Structure 1
Amino acid sequence: MMNHSLILIIIMLLSYGLGSITGAYYIVKMLTGKDIRVVGSGNVGATNAGRVSGKKGFLLTLLIDAGKVILALSFTSIVMKGEAYLILSSIFVLVGHLFPFQLGFHGGKGIVAYLASALFLCPLSIVVFAIVMGGVYIIIRKYTLSGFLSMGTIPIAAYVIEGSFTLSAGLVALFVIVVVFHNRSFHHSVET
């Protein structure tokens, strides 16, 4: 039987490694031969993959980016029981997605990784997110703002549905990381 610390290290490394599999980079390279980091918006995410390589590129990127989260969390749920381990795994997948080692630590913005984590941890929170997103978009007609306001409901919905402070706090942490990184990327792209 492996000791607890070794299992934690394996979870963190595996989660980071899976997170580093940047779907947009590989799909765009495969479909167009281009480096997504220097075309479109330069972002290594599903939206830019769709912009550069069409609907097929967008959907394949979504599948890869959601799939790596589900794979990491499934592995974690098999080797360790408890929400805290799943949150730890989610954070390391997200960090891998944001800072993939093989792409010089220049990754996506983490939205799909956050939503896939929420889907795994509390599937009904994604239903709430989708309903709120639809309602908010109808009112304000701004896609990105509607998305971020709606993503903020996920930790609240998870707490109401699951009654778990650990789960809700973990989803808050993931959401804050995504917001901070998205905001930093936005300001960086405006300045450069």
Structure 2
Amino acid sequence: MNLVLWVLFAYACGCLNGAYYIGHFLYGEDIRVKGSGNAGARNAGRVMGRKAFVYTVIIDALKTIFPLLVVIYLGEASNLVLACVVVAILCGHIWPVQLHFHGGKGIVVYLAVSLVLLPMGLLIVGGLILLLYIITKKLTIPTLTSFFIMPILLMIKSSWMLAAAYFFMLFIIVRLHRSGGVE
């Protein structure tokens, strides 16, 4: 399968927005007009409760893991293909076409990509987030700060293409969190 088809497949998977579908089918609500207006797990949890948060995280993680595993197990797992696929999944999550380009901010997608491509790095990031949370009693800044470890670890592993993709994803995620949304 060529790169363009992999990217389209990954984008389509990324467009499956857990918070929106959980809100729509289980609660009869449009998460994009509730709470912060963000169609992500954190807002789903705030607006609809813990169950909605958990279901959203599961859906968003699976929609990220599935295309990555398909690419890897079909033998197309060059660093270029993987880099393009992870960025496409993130773009689908943040700017889903069927939701008029109004999705989540990408935290779960970033973490799920890390679970597949660099699981030991994810453990390091998790530990650092926990440590910084204990110190600061805040979550967003420690999380975003800790995410910088992933591209650095990939550079150490000499996966320059994937490190670049991670830096690009991180740039988008930080910008969305600074601006307060995806509007």
* Distance (Å, rounded) in 1 between the aligned partners of 2:52 and 2:88: 25
Root-mean-square deviation (Å): 1.7
Q: Structure 1-normalised TM-score?
A: 0.88
* Distance (Å, rounded) in 2 between the aligned partners of 1:56 and 1:120: 24
Displacement of 1:187 in angstroms is 9.7
Displacement of 1:165 in angstroms is 2.2
Displacement of 1:184 in angstroms is 2.6
Q: Which residue of 1 aligns with 2:10?
A: 15
Displacement of 1:31 in angstroms is 1.8
Consecutive unaligned residues in structure 1, runs of 5 or more: none
Equivalent residues of 1:24, 1:46 under 8 A apart: yes
More helix by share: 1
Q: Which residue of 2 aligns with 1:111?
A: 107
Q: Which residue of 2 aligns with 1:141?
A: 137
Q: Which residue of 2 aligns with 1:41?
A: 36
* Distance (Å, rounded) in 2 between the aligned partners of 1:79 and 1:158: 21
Say which one has the larger Rg: 1
Consecutive unaligned residues in structure 2, runs of 5 or more: none
* Distance (Å, rounded) in 1 between the aligned partners of 2:43 and 2:182: 17
Match of 1:123 among 119, 125, 138: 119
| Higher relative contact order, chain-length normalized (CA < 8 Å, sep 6+) | 2
Map 1:55-66 → 2, pairs under 5 A: 55-66=50-61
Instruction: Give a deviation string over 1:126-174, Cα, whole Å, max 9, x none.
Output: 00101111111122222111111111122123334x3422222221121
Instruction: Give a deviation string over 1:8-44, Cα, whole Å, max 9, x none.
Output: 1110111110000000000011221011011111110
* AA of the residue aligned to 1:30: F
* Distance (Å, rounded) in 1 between the aligned partners of 2:66 and 2:24: 23
Q: Confirm or deny that 1:99 pairs with 2:95.
A: yes
SS in 2 for 1:80: coil
SS in 2 for 1:130: helix
* Distance (Å, rounded) in 1 between the aligned partners of 2:48 and 2:94: 21
Displacement of 1:186 in angstroms is 4.8
Equivalent residues of 1:28, 1:52 under 8 A apart: no
The percent of aligned pairs where both chains have the same amino acid is 40
* Distance (Å, rounded) in 1 between the aligned partners of 2:154 and 2:145: 15
Instruction: Give a deviation string over 1:45-92, Cα, whole Å, max 9, x none.
Output: 001111122111111100110111111111222251312211100000
Equivalent residues of 1:110, 1:178 under 8 A apart: yes
SS in 1 for 2:38: coil
Q: Confirm or deny that 1:183 pairs with 2:178.
A: yes
Q: Which moved more, 1:74-83 or 1:136-145?
A: 74-83
